[in-house]
């Protein structure tokens, strides 16, 4: 696609975007990781238990590169090749120089797709700006409906998904991938029934009770503090799949349970009560409990604090792609706001001064205010509503800016994906 002639400043801006994207890619991919390198994943496409989450993250990582290349007047097919070449160089460095990384063909594939999609989005945005107001406004309704689908999908992916298999109770287990809590459990119950650290005879009953939000209660002797997530009490199944984990993460009380996202090889966030664990005295008696008084809403009671307003919101959707327990609370809140903004930015880009766009705004508001309760998400908090407003505003500003630049330019043949 040929851009309008008023593009010298835009091409310069595109080069800046490319430079920043390359720096971000290098920072994300060329730092060493602790642990042994695995060569078994080189030939795979979608790798590991969270393979699709990694694939989507790889696409997103290279999309800014494609956006910058398109702004610099590089065609989408050339952006694809540039993305593939840069990704191949990164994977080669990970294979030969960078310690602890797991390069794969899949990374190159999804990185290249990300660059191609980023470039394609720019060219597509240009075509949308040439639409008449009625067509664009109708598309804003479609974008708002897409937001509704995103809310429903997020809620479903974050709902519990417990297999019908044999379960094992575990008291302060040393799970390897988590910290080992050195306290001592004295008793653990689910809905009043004792659960020992061994195979559970009534696994079906435990599954159904947990799905119904039955109360988990653990009485223990406090151990020393832990620097990351540890299991005080957990349930795993015969296939070594985690079902539920309750324990401390520094001074937070954390509830983790298996969700539909795990089955779809995505990541998943946990539910935590900030400061709920606190710093109990070593050897003191503590009681920890968790239950769901209503679907999607959890009560968490720890040694230092309690709440009955815990649970997932729409903003937790970012954790489906990459969730790190080490993120501080302010960063989690920022990511939640940013996630909702991303979900609404397309609707904002397509808004026009027409009644169809007014309908789109009503649909978007209903998606945020009504739909979460239908899929067991907590009500959308004020900060996430602010994120939605930010996304709409940024999208509208981008659309207006692009229409101002393109306004009056003659149509150009579409060659974005050739």
Q: Has this prediction a pTM greater than 0.85?
A: yes
* Percent composition of the chain: helix, strand, coil (DSSP 3-state, to 5): 50, 15, 35
What's the confidence (pLDDT) of residue 43?
Answer: 75
Mean pLDDT lowest for which of 1-10, 150-159, 340-349, 369-378? 1-10
Mean pLDDT of all residues in 169-178: 93
In tens, the pLDDT along 220-275 reads 999 999 999 999 999 999 999 999 999 999 999 999 999 999 989 999 999 999 99
Task: Report the alpha-carbon distance of residue 362 to residue 356 in Å, rounded.
Answer: 10
User: How many degrees, rounded to 5, is the angle at CA 368 between CA 344 and CA 327?
Assistant: 75
The number of angstroms, rounded, from the C-alpha of 315 to the middle of its chain's C-alpha atoms is 9
Examine the pLDDT at 4 and tell me if it is beyond 50. Answer: no
CB 254 within 8 A of CB 245: yes
Examine the pLDDT at 181 and tell me if it is beyond 70. Answer: yes
Number of H helices, E strands in the chain: 11, 11
């Amino acid at each position: 696609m040929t851009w309008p002639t008023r593009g010298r400043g835009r091409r310069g801006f595109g080069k800046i975007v490319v430079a920043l994207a390359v720096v971000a890619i290098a920072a994300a991919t060329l730092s060493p990781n602790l642990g042994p390198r695995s060569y078994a994943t080189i030939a795979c496409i979608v790798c590991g238990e969270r393979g699709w989450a990694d694939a989507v993250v790889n696409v997103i990582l290279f999309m800014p590169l494609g956006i910058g290349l398109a702004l610099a007047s590089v065609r989408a097919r050339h952006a694809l090749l540039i993305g593939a070449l840069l990704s191949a160089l990164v994977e080669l460095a990970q294979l030969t120089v960078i310690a602890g990384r797991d390069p794969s063909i899949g990374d190159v594939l999804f990185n290249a797709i990300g660059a191609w999609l980023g470039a394609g989005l720019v060219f597509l945005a240009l075509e949308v700006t040439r639409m008449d107001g009625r067509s664009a406004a109708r598309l804003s309704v479609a974008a708002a409906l897409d937001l509704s689908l995103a809310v429903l999908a997020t809620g479903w992916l974050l709902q519990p998904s417990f297999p019908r298999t044999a379960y094992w109770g575990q008291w302060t287990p040393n799970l390897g991938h988590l910290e080992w809590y050195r306290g001592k459990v004295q008793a653990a119950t689910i809905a009043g029934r004792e659960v020992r650290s061994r195979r559970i005879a009534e696994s079906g009953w435990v599954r159904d009770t947990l799905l119904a939000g039955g109360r988990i209660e653990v009485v223990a002797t406090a151990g020393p503090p832990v620097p990351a997530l540890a299991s005080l009490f957990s349930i795993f199944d015969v296939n070594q799949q985690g079902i539920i984990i309750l324990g401390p993460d520094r001074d937070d009380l954390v509830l983790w349970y298996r969700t539909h996202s795990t089955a779809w090889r995505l990541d998943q966030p946990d539910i935590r009560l900030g400061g709920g664990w606190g710093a109990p005295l070593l050897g003191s008696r503590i009681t920890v409990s968790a239950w769901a008084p209503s679907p999607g809403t959890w009560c968490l009671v720890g040694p230092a604090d309690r709440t009955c307003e815990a649970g997932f919101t729409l903003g937790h959707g970012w954790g489906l792609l990459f969730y790190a327990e080490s993120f501080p609370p302010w960063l989690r809140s920022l990511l939640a706001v940013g996630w909702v903004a991303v979900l609404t930015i397309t609707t904002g880009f397509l808004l026009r001064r027409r009644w169809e766009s007014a309908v789109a705004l009503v649909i978007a508001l209903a998606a945020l205010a009504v739909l979460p309760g239908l899929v067991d998400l907590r009500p959308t908090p004020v900060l996430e509503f602010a994120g939605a407003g930010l996304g709409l505003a940024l999208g509208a500003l981008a659309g207006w800016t692009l229409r101002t630049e393109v306004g009056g330019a003659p149509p150009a043949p579409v060659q974005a994906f050739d």
